[in-house]
Chain A
Amino acid sequence: MSPMNRRDFLKASAAASALIALGSKAQAAPADPKDLTWTKSVCRYCGTGCGLYVGTRDGKVVSVKGDTENHNAGFLCLKGFLLPEIMSAPDRLLHPLVRKGDKLVQASWEEAMALAATRFREAIEKHGPDAVGFYGSGQGLTEETYAANKLFKAGIRTNNVDGNPRLCMASAVAGYVSTYGKDEPMGCYEDIDHADVFLLVGTNTSEAHPILFRRIVKRKQSGKDVKIVVLDPRRTATSRVADLHLSFTPGTDLAILNAMASVLFAEGLVDEAFVARHLAFGEGADADKTLADYRAFLAEYTPERAAALSGARAEDIVTAARWFGAKGRTAMSMWTMGLNQRTKGVWANNLVHNLHLVTGKIGVPGSTPFSVTGQPNACGGVRDGGALSHTLPYGRLVANEKHRAEMEQLWNVPAGTLAPKPGLATMDMFRALEDGKLKALWIMCTNPAQSLPNADRYRKALRREGAFVAVTEAFHPTRTSELADVVLPAALWAEKEGVYGCGERRYQLLECAVKPSGEARPDLEILCDLGRRLGHGALLPWKTPAEVWDELRAVAKGTAYDFTGMTRERLRTAHGLLWPLPAEGHPGTSRRYVKGEDPLVPADAPDRVLFYGRPDKKAVVWLRPHKGPEEPVDAEYPLWLTTGRVIEHWHTGTMTRNCKELRHANSESVAELHAEDAAAIGVRTGDPVRVTSRRGSVVFKARVVDGARKGLVFVHMHDPDRMCNVLTIDAVDPVSRQPEFKICAVKVAKA
């Protein structure tokens, strides 16, 4: 057989993907587009935030089409295209359930809510407000997350409010805050169209964010000598289009990033004027170092030393730095979980920012550091909305007395209502559930019993004697709802109205297109009901999500997030709006910190950028040394394990596994192995292998792939029957409290 060339490979891949999309059976298609009612909305899946229209007929969602006027230019990925199927999935939860012995049985809303409220009230009365907690989601609507945050922090008076964005982007948040003083990317998707160099670090954009990847590919083809550099231990579909792929030993990219900075200085690629005007330097938590300190620090990170530490080639590190730093060329970095899900995730984020700062490649079209987001409303709802255990809405902090006072005034509660001590971050919250300090937990729109690292440990905690767990969820059973004491049917996506904020600070309205299925209710209604039953109804007085939105605009007014001008009516007609947007006539802000674009930068500011997030108006270059992962490989556990997405599935699979076309594709998680590692244990593709870590053991089918790195096992994350998180480690970054999902040590044997 003649070898397949790259074009043949691509054609085969393209045909396979299209045929998978075709499915074995046709989707019920609309008889005629004129028969449908089209409602403007946003995709339910990743943080790209693709605009779309929901096509309904006879009260059912039957079709979607991309919004050609939105940033995605009408394109949707396969998951988005198949969204109608999730709405009527056979495992949609249509009625409340309460636990009777070992079983969850159907109950009335009154019975279920009364039970949940009673157990929460008892826990609070007997053990204090910190005996309860709320675990939310980057998939909840902004209004819903805000209601929960307000109820728990201002009503119940506990800061035990956290959410699954802690698992995916907390390190990006801490990276932005430590470097610029404010969270969230300063750039936008349009920067992709102007970038000359892409530095993609720890992101398989091709599969995890296909519509953004399409835009990157388009730019590569239309721009002049556009370069793509990928830093990833694996050779992914993304790295196949790269001009330079640096594969390295997991957890050693800090050395590579420092070495790139070292090359920038050594080769005169630093913007000295920008450095002098706009940068401070720091180590630890203090910005008290100098440029000379930084240069001395970088002297340790020669490309050769970084190569020795990482296994990458020194000449590739030099090339990557030269391309990134080339004068007169723009550079855009993008990253996701490979950088964030690490015990040194914040440091890794800082080091990417450093490259932009020392070259001055920031704040111009095509030059920006951009953390890409995994969930549709992690940014808008949880990050911006301040629904983490240490935050308050719109950049405010629990530990800041002035911020608490502002929120107490805005929420019309007595001074001193808000507790000054940050609450429990996600892993601490589930550990508190395990050791009995947390008595009752409300889980909304997420599936932690599958998605937490070291999952079996926390599955036991969720069923601990005396613990009470309420779950609101659109599907049942999930690996979490099966453990709950009360499961409440939540309205799903097009069944309710609210706002999503995607990765580029773009807020968009999802209009309600159909009535909720069965007895399902929007989470906002459920939370307001809970609040009334706990005696806090006055804090949650709203009749509609639009009323919540008006309150949110007032809460954000005057902050760095100001979106006062985003009225509900404007959101209904616009195809997404980017904050800051402080007045109704304002068009929104493509690039923050930039004079002439960001309304918070004075028109008479002396320079093109003003990093107003910090008191000294400077961004910080941090001296962050190389430090390896928490659990290195050893003689007993000699292989690295990493986990991640495939294009067909999303998160714990509760939605994508309900699409029959997607069930045919990669629905069963496999363990991808390097050919030599597979040969060493005598397995071939399709053979069962047992992957064992210090925390658990799971059997997968082996898949021997040419993109694997020797010594590295990659496992898909979506399969509830083969949960990769039984294996992953629950060690966290000490600053962001984000777990190191991406790296641990395992052994693999033929099963």
Chain B
Amino acid sequence: MTTVAGVLLQTVPGAGPRVAARLAGEPGVTLAGGDGDARVALVWEAEDGAALDALAEALLARDPEILGVYPTFVGNDGER
């Protein structure tokens, strides 16, 4: 089963593009858009919700330019 989440990241001003570029290399991350300044919209896919939580926590811990991680949607595809 795969969990799919829509996520909004808030960054410090001007850091949105940099953060997006760094995240582009993360497995399961698809960039959906950004405002060119301080917000990045992402789609995350992970094995389960716990993995998504762990990724969110890791991002907040390791990237000082990320101020907040806000899920806008969580679902799973029910396929095993």
Contacts and interface: CB of A to CB of B under 8 A. Distances in A.
A29 B4 contact: no
Contact of B77 (A7, A25, A27, A78): A7
Interface in A10-51: 10-11, 13-23, 25-27, 29-33
Interface in B40-80: 40-45, 47-50, 53, 67-79
Query: Which range holds the interface residue count of chain B?
Result: 35 or more
Contact of B6 (A6, A15, A32, A66): A15
Contacts of B7: 14, 18
B41 A19 contact: yes
Contact of A217 (B8, B47, B49): B49
A18 B6 contact: yes
B4 A11 contact: yes
Contacts of A32: 12
A29 B4 CA distance: 27
A217 B74 contact: yes
A10 B75 contact: yes
A570 to B, nearest CB: 28
B8 to A, nearest CB: 4
Given A22-B35, A222-B48, A214 B74 contact: yes
A44 to B, nearest CB: 16
Contacts, number: 147
Contacts of B71: 75, 77, 210, 214
A616 to B, nearest CB: 43
Interface string A63-104: 101100000011111100100000000000000000000000
B32 to A, nearest CB: 4
B73 A18 contact: yes
Contacts of A27: 38-39
A727 B74 CA distance: 33
A218 interface: yes
Interface string B8-35: 1011110000000000000000101111
A10 B4 contact: yes
A37 to B, nearest CB: 15
Contacts of B72: 14, 17-18, 20-21, 77-78
Given A19-B33, A29-B10, A221-B1, A11 B43 contact: yes
A275 interface: no
Contacts of B5: 14
Which of B2, B13, B68, B72 has most A Cβ within 10 Å?
A: B72
Nearest to A242: B78
B74 A213 contact: yes
A241 interface: yes
Nearest to A20: B72
Given A6-B77, A15-B30, A32-B12, A76 B70 contact: yes
Given A11-B45, A76-B70, A221 B33 contact: no
Given A78-B72, A218-B49, A26 B77 contact: no
Contacts of A210: 71, 74
A731 to B, nearest CB: 36
Interface in A176-234: 206, 210, 213-214, 217-218, 220-222
A13 B3 CA distance: 12
A29 B2 contact: no
Given A81-B70, A217-B76, A7 B43 contact: no
A402 interface: no
B41 A15 contact: yes
A27 B13 CA distance: 10
Contact of A218 (B34, B45, B50, B78): B50
Contact of B75 (A29, A76, A222, A240): A240
Given A22-B41, A221-B3, A10 B76 contact: yes
Which of A14, A25, A32, A241 has most B Cβ within 10 Å?
A: A14
Contact of B35 (A7, A25, A213): A25
Contact of A221 (B38, B43, B48): B48
A695 to B, nearest CB: 36
Contacts of B11: 29
A241 B75 contact: yes
Nearest to A14: B6
A55 to B, nearest CB: 9
B2 A7 contact: yes
Nearest to B8: A21
Nearest to B36: A26
Contacts of A78: 8, 70, 72
Contacts of B13: 29-31
Contacts of B53: 73, 218
A66 B57 CA distance: 12
Contacts of B67: 29-30, 33, 63, 65
Contacts of A17: 6, 72-73
A144 to B, nearest CB: 30
Nearest to A21: B8
A41 B40 CA distance: 26
Given A17-B73, A78-B70, A29 B38 contact: yes
A206 B4 CA distance: 14
Contacts of A11: 4, 30, 43, 45
A18 B74 contact: no
B37 A222 contact: no
Interface in A302-327: none
B8 A81 contact: yes
A434 B44 CA distance: 54
A29 B78 contact: no
A76 B67 CA distance: 13
Given A11-B30, A19-B32, A26 B78 contact: no
B50 A18 contact: no
Which of B40, B67, B71 has most A Cβ within 10 Å?
A: B71
A218 B8 contact: no
A241 B75 CA distance: 7
Given A81-B8, A222-B48, A240-B75, A18 B43 contact: yes
Nearest to B68: A65
Contacts of B35: 22-23, 25-26
Nearest to A75: B71
Contact of A7 (B4, B48, B50): B4
A15 B34 CA distance: 11
B30 A222 contact: no
A22 B50 contact: no
A425 B21 CA distance: 58
Contacts of B77: 5-7, 10
A6 B45 CA distance: 13
A14 B76 contact: no
8 contacts: A13-B73, A21-B6, A22-B33, A22-B39, A31-B12, A217-B3, A218-B50, A218-B53
Interface of A: 5-7, 10-11, 13-23, 25-27, 29-33, 63, 65-66, 73-78, 81, 206, 210, 213-214, 217-218, 220-222, 237, 240-241
Top 7 A-B pairs, shortest CB-CB distance: A14-B6, A218-B49, A221-B48, A18-B41, A18-B6, A17-B72, A17-B73
Given A17-B72, A22-B41, 6 more contacts: A15-B32, A17-B6, A22-B40, A78-B8, A217-B3, A240-B75
